[in-house]
């Protein structure tokens, strides 16, 4: 199977879908002439021309609204937001328009638009450019939220997102763009709401996605040296969420740690922990613990940034605690 970078996988997904369906087009800041701020749209302007790859002004509310309108009108826009930090300006279009059109029109309208771009901390981008907003979108009924970790998931989920009849919030990761992995050539559709067991084990369940998947896998390696077999589950989409996969694992391990890059209070992990205790109460031998980014605006200083983000060591410690191996 070809080895492809996360960036190329996204590029493949868009290229294939644009070739397959002429209603699909891309718009956003720097997506055309500059080939994308992160080079995800490399070559697409050349291949599909300025009608299908549209450079926009720096006006998130405007061009996201343009995407919503185009979707209502029958097209299938992919709106690239340079990062999700900037898409805060377009939150109204995404939440108040895209997410609501189907229900508020009684099903007469729908909005098959994909908003995509990177989120999360990269390296010393400070408070305003290091944020994780997945939970604020997964919070909204009417939106679907993808958080792919691997090149294969990036391609398979983006193709599914572009074909979806409803608005999809597609969150990528700046630091994952360069990572490589096996990706099938051509058609690859990964359904939403289907978790992947990134690593199997019967002693403790770790739920983690996107960058945190790799933090969890590293933690699982460290735990293995202590004789603990961790099961790492990557939900891949936060809405819909594959609760069954998590519950099946917890039924085996009786303990669970949820890892997320974002802030703790009202974070995705809180909802996941709630769902597990609600539906798997009798399976739990220990409280569900969460490992999250610290509850602060991201500091600029490198050691402080490291202190804020979840580490494999913190995940290991949480696992030891739910295993009653640590006070």
Partner 1 sequence: MAKPINMPKLSDEMTEGKIAEWLKKPGDEVKPGEVVAQVETEKATLDVEAFEGGVLLAVVVQAGETAPVGKPIAWIGKAGEKVPGESAAAPEARPSAPPPAPSPPRREGQGGATSRQAVSEPRSAAPAAERPATGTFTGRVPVSPAARKAARDRGLDLSGLKGSGPGGRVVLADLEQAPRAAAPAPAAAAASAKRRPLPPKRPLHDESIPLSPMRKAIARNLGVAKPGSPHYYLEISADVRRLVSLREQLEELGDGPVSLNDLVLKAAAEALTRHPEVNAAWGGDAILRRGAVHMGMAVAVEDGLVTPVVRDADRKSVLEIARLTRDLAKRARERRLKPDEYQGATFTVSNLGMFGIDAFYAIINPPEAAILSVGTVRKVPWVDEASGEIVAVERCRFGLSGDHRVIDGAVGARFLQTFQAVVEAPLRLVAAT
Stretch 203-222 residues interacting with partner 1 (CB under 8 A): none
Is 266 a binder of partner 1 (CB under 8 A)? yes
Residue 161: CB minimum distance to partner 1, A: 31
313 is catalytic: no
Residue 282: CB minimum distance to partner 1, A: 4
Catalytic residue among 60, 134, 260, 305: 60
Contacts of 18 (CB under 8 A, 6+ apart): 24, 25, 26, 44, 47, 48, 52
Report whether 76 contacts 23 (CB < 8 A). Answer: yes
- Strand, coil or helix: what is 87? helix
Count each helix (H run) and each strand (E run) in the chain, helices first: 12, 14
Q: Which is nearer to partner 1, 51 or 281 (CB)?
A: 281
Separation of alpha carbons 214 and 220, rounded Å: 10
Q: By rule CB under 8 A, what string of x and - marks binding of each residue 289-318 to partner 1?
A: xxxx-xxxx----------------x--xx
Residue 307: CB minimum distance to partner 1, A: 11
60 is catalytic: yes
Q: Given the structure tokens 């398979």, which residue do they identify?
A: 156
Residue 247: CB minimum distance to partner 1, A: 13
Is 3 a binder of partner 1 (CB under 8 A)? no
Separation of alpha carbons 192 and 115, rounded Å: 16
Residues designated catalytic: 60, 129
Q: Which residues bind partner 1 (CB under 8 A)?
A: 254, 264-266, 270, 281-287, 289-292, 294-297, 314, 317-318, 321, 324, 327
């Amino acid at each position: 199977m070809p080895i492809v970078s996360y960036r190329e996988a996204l590029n493949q997904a868009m290229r294939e879908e644009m070739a397959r369906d002429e209603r699909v087009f891309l718009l956003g800041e720097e997506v055309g002439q500059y080939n994308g701020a992160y080079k995800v749209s490399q070559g697409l302007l050349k291949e599909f021309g300025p009608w299908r790859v549209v450079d926009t002004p720096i006006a998130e509310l405007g061009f996201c609204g343009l995407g919503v309108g185009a979707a209502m009108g029958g097209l299938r826009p992919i709106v690239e937001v340079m990062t999700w930090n900037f898409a805060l300006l377009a939150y109204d279009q995404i939440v108040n328009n895209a997410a609501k059109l189907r229900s508020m029109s009684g099903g007469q309208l729908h909005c098959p638009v994909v908003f995509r771009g990177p989120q999360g901390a990269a390296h010393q981008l400070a408070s305003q450019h290091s944020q994780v907003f997945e939970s604020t979108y997964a919070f909204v009924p009417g939106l679907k939220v993808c958080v792919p970790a691997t090149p294969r998931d990036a391609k398979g989920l983006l193709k599914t997102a572009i074909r979806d009849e409803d608005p999809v919030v597609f969150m990528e990761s700046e630091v994952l763009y360069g990572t490589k992995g096996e990706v099938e050539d051509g058609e690859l559709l990964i359904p939403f709401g289907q978790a992947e067991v990134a690593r199997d084990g019967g002693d403790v369940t770790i739920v983690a996605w996107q960058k945190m998947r790799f933090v969890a896998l590293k933690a699982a390696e460290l735990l293995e040296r202590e004789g603990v077999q961790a099961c790492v589950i990557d939900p891949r989409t936060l809405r819909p969420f594959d609760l069954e996969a998590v519950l099946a694992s917890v039924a085996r391990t009786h303990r669970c740690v949820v890892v997320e890059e974002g802030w703790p209070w009202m974070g995705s992990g809180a909802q996941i922990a709630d769902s597990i205790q609600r539906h798997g109460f009798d399976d739990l031998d220990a409280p569900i613990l969460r490992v999250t980014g610290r509850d602060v605006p991201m500091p600029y200083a490198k050691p402080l940034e490291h202190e804020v983000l979840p580490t494999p060591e913190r995940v290991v410690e949480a696992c030891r605690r739910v295993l009653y191996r640590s006070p």
